[in-house]
Chains A and B, each alone.
Chain A
Amino acid sequence: MIRFKIRLALILISASVLLLFGYISSPGQELEAPPEPLPAPPTNVVISDDPNDDGHTTIVSWQLSRDDGAGLNNVMAYEIFRSTSPEGEFLQVGVMGKGLDSYIDRGEKEKTRNGEPNPRYIGAGIDYYYKMRAKSTTGTYSEFSELVVGQAKNNWYHTGKTNIMIAVLIFSGLVIYFITAAKRGKELYVRPIAGIDAVDESIGRATEMGRPILFVLGTGTAADLATIAGYTILARVAKMTADYQTKVLVPVNEPVMLAVAQETVKSAYMEAGRPDMYDEQNIFYVTAMQFPFVAAVCGLMIREQTATNFYMGIFHAESLILAETGAITGAIQISGTDQLAQLPFFIAATDYTLIGEELYAASGYLSKEALLLGPVKAQDYAKVILLTLLGLAVITWSFGWGFFKSLISTIS
């Protein structure tokens, strides 16, 4: 406490001394305090539009003050001011350290704030006036730079995304090419995927045992890609169960997923010529929350004694709870997910696992349809391109040739 008092006293004393000094040395009082040399202001200030935004940002660039890093060498920072009129009130919008020669002025998007005009707002097509000054290391300021004016524009193309656009176009081109090639009757080979090969056998087993099959589409949303891949496998499973007259249970945790799963199973039964076998009650909504859903599915496994369990889609922490409960009942379990964190548990606790990309490839593999196999081939070609580029880049770069490295860097 005492120490604080002493410090406070010291601070107060030094502050009053400073104040006094400031009073004495203020203009008008011709005292002989040595005039400190002021830094020169930055020059050639230019206001341009940020080409990749929706009209709320400008870019301020300038030439460094001649005292920045040279001359008096006393510039510490630059201060940037903006106003909507040349003689209006200028708002300090940014500070940049010495040696820097541009500033991105990101305005706010709300015209008004709490019913009053928002001073930080920047809108498209409005003239904004800027001026700048340099701040010296001792806290003095240069003159203001000349007043300049500029506008922000609402832009229609993001120049920084051209690379991604090219990548999308190339990849889409590959996909479409291989689909048409396959349609023309070109044979496409797909390597065996153990998890998918086991589907038929596991359904046969459930039929022999006279027990139902469980299909869990995960705890993602209905439109997630892994869930959509799950529907394809569900369609296949449902078609087979219709043939074998085995019951398939599909508990879901999302109403949209419920609708899709019902449609999928219904269509599969119709395709198998057994629409009479379809029972909507077997595809049911439990609850949207993760753990209540898991509790109910675990209970279902034990009470219905499901012989084969499928887990296809997005899974979170529940993956291991489901897989271990399934192991207790002695069910054959086939899983597939693109969630990296859950793959280890599926691999350890289920019999077969579709790892990441294998899940997406499963739809093509299952149907053997040219339309669905084409994209798989395109994926592989994209991989070849990547492998080659990456290999070349790393090797050549290590020997000092940076061409491929910079090529990849610009692409990504």
Chain B
Amino acid sequence: MNPDNPKMGFFETIANIDRRVIFLFIGFAVIIPVLLSFSCTEEATPIVQAVYDEIESLPEGSKVLISFDYGPSTVPEVQPMIDALLRHSCEKNLKMYMMALWGTGHNLISESMQDIIEKEFPHKIYGVDYVNLGYKAGNQGLINVILTDMKKMYTTDARGSEIDAVPMMVDIRNLKSFDLILSMGGGFPGIKEWVLFGGDPGNIPVAGGATAVSAPLLYPYYPRQLLGLLGGIKGAAEYESALIKGYPKFKTHSHPAIDMMGPQTVAHIVIVFFIVIGNITFFIGRKREEGEKREGGVIK
């Protein structure tokens, strides 16, 4: 309280709030949800739900091409999406063909296979239910070629087996053999190239996941050329929620994106709250100042 002017005290205190109070709030906004593993239920937005519904509607044994078009720096955002999509595809008994347009994607495929498919779905067989086609250079040029002939580029899988010795590759001729293309990452090359050089000319549905930064640039393709899109950690959390809703057994599995959303939401509420408070006190302060001016009082 300001002893000189008790009437203004409250608003002045709030208006001149110490930054440490804000820091404290932010700290608690993150610590408490992390400790309590608090999370909000994320309702899937239509753009995310569309991806979920598409996978849900694919009959057993459908072929899904998953392109890992990202690098280590965007793993925190993109990996939760991949994990959720792989779980969903495994659950639906879809055939997963994993490839990469980015050189960094190669290792990420192996890691995802180990962490999700081999660990959680041990009955899935490599070469029958899923395959790692590895990284091939060529960006959109690669898409161009495999649109007409897949095996021209992929003569072996990432493990070095002859491509025709991989059972699930026998009836693959080109991109049109797939029922859905998922491109994960959102950078270049990525979703845009898949849409323009693969999905559009081949009339194959394309969906994908992108980092929060690149997602807005892909919005213009939705919904005509792009079936659906997971944008950033929020998109991943929405997909995880949709998956848990459809298959409650996944509740016990890790869901890093949902976990991340709890502290995110609370921290955002805190910041928004402080902005509102700041503006209210600002306007009240200005009103009073104007009033004092009229009364000929001291201008603070």
A-to-B contact residues, CB < 8 Å: 1, 4, 7-8, 11, 76-77, 95-98, 328
Q: How many angstroms from the CA of A77 to the CA of B148 in the assembled complex? A: 8
Among candidates B19, B128, B145, B148, residue contacting A328 with C-beta atoms closer than 8 Å: B19
Q: How many angstroms from the CA of A97 to the CA of B123 in the assembled complex? A: 39
Q: Is the CB of B253 closer than 8 A to any CB of chain A? A: no
Q: Is the CB of B125 within 8 A of A95?
A: no
Q: Is the CB of B167 closer than 8 A to any CB of chain A? A: yes
Extra pairs beyond A7-B167, A95-B145 (12, CB < 8 Å): A1-B123, A11-B167, A11-B170, A76-B148, A77-B148, A77-B149, A95-B149, A95-B152, A96-B148, A97-B149, A98-B148, A328-B19
Closest chain-A Cβ to B174's Cβ sits at a distance in Å of 9
Q: Which chain A residues lie closer than 8 Å to B152 at the CB level?
A: 95
Q: By DSSP majority rule, is chain B's interface helix, strand, loop, or mixed?
A: helix
Q: Which chain A residues lie closer than 8 Å to B218 at the CB level?
A: none
Chain B's interface size range is: 10 to 19
Q: Is the CB of B86 closer than 8 A to any CB of chain A? A: no
Closest chain-B Cβ to A135's Cβ sits at a distance in Å of 9
Q: Which chain A residues lie closer than 8 Å to B147 at the CB level?
A: 97
Q: How many angstroms from the CA of A328 to the CA of B123 in the assembled complex? A: 59
A-B contacts, 22 listed (Cβ < 8 Å) = A1-B123, A1-B125, A4-B125, A4-B128, A7-B128, A7-B167, A8-B167, A11-B167, A11-B170, A76-B148, A77-B148, A77-B149, A95-B145, A95-B148, A95-B149, A95-B152, A96-B148, A97-B147, A97-B148, A97-B149, A98-B148, A328-B19
Closest chain-A Cβ to B167's Cβ sits at a distance in Å of 6
Q: Which chain A residues lie closer than 8 Å to B167 at the CB level?
A: 7-8, 11
Q: How many angstroms from the CA of A7 to the CA of B125 in the assembled complex? A: 12
Closest chain-B Cβ to A110's Cβ sits at a distance in Å of 15
Contact with A along B63-82 (1 / 0, CB 8 A): 00000000000000000000
Q: How many angstroms from the CA of A76 to the CA of B176 in the assembled complex? A: 14
Q: Which chain B residues lie closer than 8 Å to A98 at the CB level?
A: 148
Q: Which chain B residues lie closer than 8 Å to A95 at the CB level?
A: 145, 148-149, 152
Closest chain-B Cβ to A88's Cβ sits at a distance in Å of 22
Chain B minimum-CB-distance residue to A10: B167
> Which one of B19, B148, B167, B170 has the greatest number of beta carbons of chain A within 10 Å?
B148
Q: How many angstroms from the CA of A7 to the CA of B148 in the assembled complex? A: 27
Q: Which chain A residues lie closer than 8 Å to B148 at the CB level?
A: 76-77, 95-98
Q: Which chain A residues lie closer than 8 Å to B170 at the CB level?
A: 11
Chain A minimum-CB-distance residue to B201: A97
Closest chain-A Cβ to B53's Cβ sits at a distance in Å of 27
Q: Which residues in window 20-77 of B have CB below 8 A to A? A: none
Q: How many angstroms from the CA of A96 to the CA of B146 in the assembled complex? A: 10
Chain A minimum-CB-distance residue to B164: A15
Chain A minimum-CB-distance residue to B170: A11
Q: Which chain A residues lie closer than 8 Å to B145 at the CB level?
A: 95
Closest chain-A Cβ to B24's Cβ sits at a distance in Å of 15
Closest chain-B Cβ to A27's Cβ sits at a distance in Å of 23
Chain A minimum-CB-distance residue to B145: A95
Closest chain-B Cβ to A94's Cβ sits at a distance in Å of 9
Q: How many angstroms from the CA of A1 to the CA of B122 in the assembled complex? A: 11
Q: Which chain B residues lie closer than 8 Å to A11 at the CB level?
A: 167, 170
Q: Which chain B residues lie closer than 8 Å to A4 at the CB level?
A: 125, 128
Chain B minimum-CB-distance residue to A95: B152
Q: Which chain B residues lie closer than 8 Å to A7 at the CB level?
A: 128, 167
Q: How many angstroms from the CA of A328 to the CA of B170 in the assembled complex? A: 66
Q: Which chain B residues lie closer than 8 Å to A76 at the CB level?
A: 148
Closest chain-B Cβ to A161's Cβ sits at a distance in Å of 21
Q: How many angstroms from the CA of A96 to the CA of B147 in the assembled complex? A: 10
Chain A minimum-CB-distance residue to B174: A97
Q: How many angstroms from the CA of A328 to the CA of B23 in the assembled complex? A: 13
Contact with A along B250-282 (1 / 0, CB 8 A): 000000000000000000000000000000000
Chain B minimum-CB-distance residue to A92: B152
Chain B minimum-CB-distance residue to A96: B148
Contact with A along B164-178 (1 / 0, CB 8 A): 000100100000000
Q: Which chain A residues lie closer than 8 Å to B149 at the CB level?
A: 77, 95, 97
| List of 7 A-B pairs having minimum Cβ-Cβ separation, nearest first | A97-B148, A95-B152, A4-B128, A4-B125, A95-B149, A77-B148, A11-B167
Contact with A along B141-153 (1 / 0, CB 8 A): 0000101110010
Closest chain-B Cβ to A99's Cβ sits at a distance in Å of 10
Closest chain-B Cβ to A15's Cβ sits at a distance in Å of 9
Q: How many angstroms from the CA of A97 to the CA of B145 in the assembled complex? A: 8
Q: How many angstroms from the CA of A370 to the CA of B220 in the assembled complex? A: 46
Closest chain-A Cβ to B29's Cβ sits at a distance in Å of 18
Q: How many angstroms from the CA of A367 to the CA of B18 in the assembled complex? A: 41
Chain B minimum-CB-distance residue to A14: B170
Q: Which chain A residues lie closer than 8 Å to B19 at the CB level?
A: 328
Q: How many angstroms from the CA of A216 to the CA of B19 in the assembled complex? A: 24
Q: How many angstroms from the CA of A96 to the CA of B145 in the assembled complex? A: 7
Closest chain-A Cβ to B39's Cβ sits at a distance in Å of 27
Closest chain-B Cβ to A324's Cβ sits at a distance in Å of 8
Closest chain-B Cβ to A150's Cβ sits at a distance in Å of 22
